[in-house]
Amino acid sequence: MARNKLKVVITGGSAGVGRAAAEAFAQHGHDVALIARDPARLERAANELAGRYGVRALALPADVANAEAVDGAAEAALQAFGRLDVWVNVAMATAFAPVAALNARDIERGTQVTYLGQVNGMLAALRCMRAAGHSGRGTIVNVGSALSYRAVPLQSVYCGAKFAIRGFTDALRSELLHDGVDIHLTMVDLPAINTPQFDWAMNLTGRRARPVPPVFQPEVAARAIYFAATHRRRQVWVGWSTAKAILANRFAPGLLDRYLARAGYRGQITGEPLPPDAPSNLYTPVPGDYGAHGRFDDEARARSLEMFTDRHRSAAIAATICAFGCGVLWVWRRNRR
C-alpha cells in the first residue's frame, strides 16, 4: 500500500502531532485532507503542504465532537479524492486540573472531543471506505497514549478519554474481523510530545504545564503514525518510556499509584505562574500561527525506539520486565537496609 498514492484524512491536522503527520504523508507524495476547527490555520497548513510537496491538500474545517460535521468533512474528502485509504484520528482537547477543580461541563467537552471525536472519525471512515463503488478496504489509525494504560494526576479528562478509545478500538477490531471486512484498525500509543497543547489546553493549576520527560518531537510520532498506516500492525508503542509505563502498570499498579502521588504533580507543572491571559482551546480554537512544535525544542528528542518496540516487541517486553524487576529488587533491598 505504501507504494501507491494514498488518500489520507487527518483530524487535528492544523497543529501538533496531526500537523506533523500530515507532513509525513505529504513528504511521501500522498494526498491529505486536514480536519480541525480553526479555518485560517487549517488553510495555511494545507497551502504549505501543497506548495512544498506538490500533493493535493484539502482544508476541511470541522469540530470532531460534532458527528454531522465530521461526516460532512469525510464526504467532501471522498468526493474530492474519489476514495479514502487512510484515516488518522489525532484531534484532542483536555484540561490540566485536579478533578476537584473541574465541572461536569469541562469533563463532558473534553470527552466529546478526545473520545467521541475519534469515534466519529471511525464511523465516518468506515462509511466512506465501505461506500458503494469503493474498495471496502483501508486503514484507520487511532492515536492513543501511554496514558491509555496508566492514568496520571491532573489529566483525568485526557486519560479517561484515551482509555475509552482503546476499549472502542478493540471492540471494533473484533467486529471487523468477524464480518470479514478488510479495513485494518491500528493504534499508536505516544509518549510525551512537544506540541502546543501545553500552552493552549485549559489549565486550572495556576502554573504553566509541561510534558513529563523524556519529551519527543512531533516528527517522532508522525513517523510512527505513517509506519502504522502503511504496515499491518495491531499496535505501535512509541518510545521506551511508553513501553515502561504500560508494562510497569501491568505488574505493579499500586506502586505506580504511590509514585505518581509524590511525583506526578511536579513532573507536569513548572514553577512558572500561569499568565492571567493564558488561552484555552477546550471550547473554542485558539487563533495564531501554531505549528507542530511546542516550546520544548531544547529538550525534545528527535529519535526514539518506536521501530524497535514494534518490530521486536518480544525483546522489548523481556528487556523491560528484566529492568523493572531489577528496579523492584533494588528498592526492596534498600528498604530492608
31-81 confidence digits (pLDDT tens)? 999 999 999 999 999 999 999 999 999 999 999 999 999 999 999 999 999
The band of 331, judged by pLDDT with boundaries at 50, 70 and 90, is low
Rounded CA-CA distance 20/197 in Å is 14
What's the number of CA atoms in the CB half-sphere (13 Å) around residue 34?
35
Asked whether residue 146 carries a pLDDT value surpassing 90, the answer given is yes
pLDDT band at residue 315 under the 50/70/90 scheme: low
Contact in structure between 157 and 124 (CB atoms under 8 Å): no
Q: Which residue has the higher pLDDT, 33 or 330?
A: 33
Q: Output the CA angle 174-177-181, nearest 5 degrees.
A: 130
Query: What is this structure's pTM?
Result: 0.89
Task: Flag whether pLDDT at 337 surpasses 90.
Answer: no
CB 92 within 8 A of CB 197: yes
- 117's CB contacts (< 8 A; 6+ apart) are 11, 64, 65, 70, 89, 91, 92
Who has greater pLDDT, 317 or 115? 115
CA end-to-end distance (rounded Å), the chain? 58
3-state secondary structure of 208: strand
Grid cell of 105 as nine digits = 461541563
Residue of 292 and 131 predicted with greater confidence: 292
Q: What is the DSSP letter of 114?
A: I
- Which position has the higher pLDDT, 114 or 329? 114
Q: What is the pLDDT of residue 320?
A: 65
Given a contact cutoff of 8 angstroms between Cβ atoms, the answer to whether 28 and 86 are in contact is no
Q: Is 64 exposed, middle or buried (0-12, 13-18, 19+ CB in 10 A)?
A: buried
How far is 275 from 285, CA to CA, in rounded Å?
18
Of all residues in the chain, what percent are helix, strand and coil, respectively (each to 5)? Answer: 50, 15, 35
Evaluate if residue 1 carries a pLDDT over 50: no
Second CATH level (architecture) for the domain 7-336: 3-Layer(aba) Sandwich (3.40)
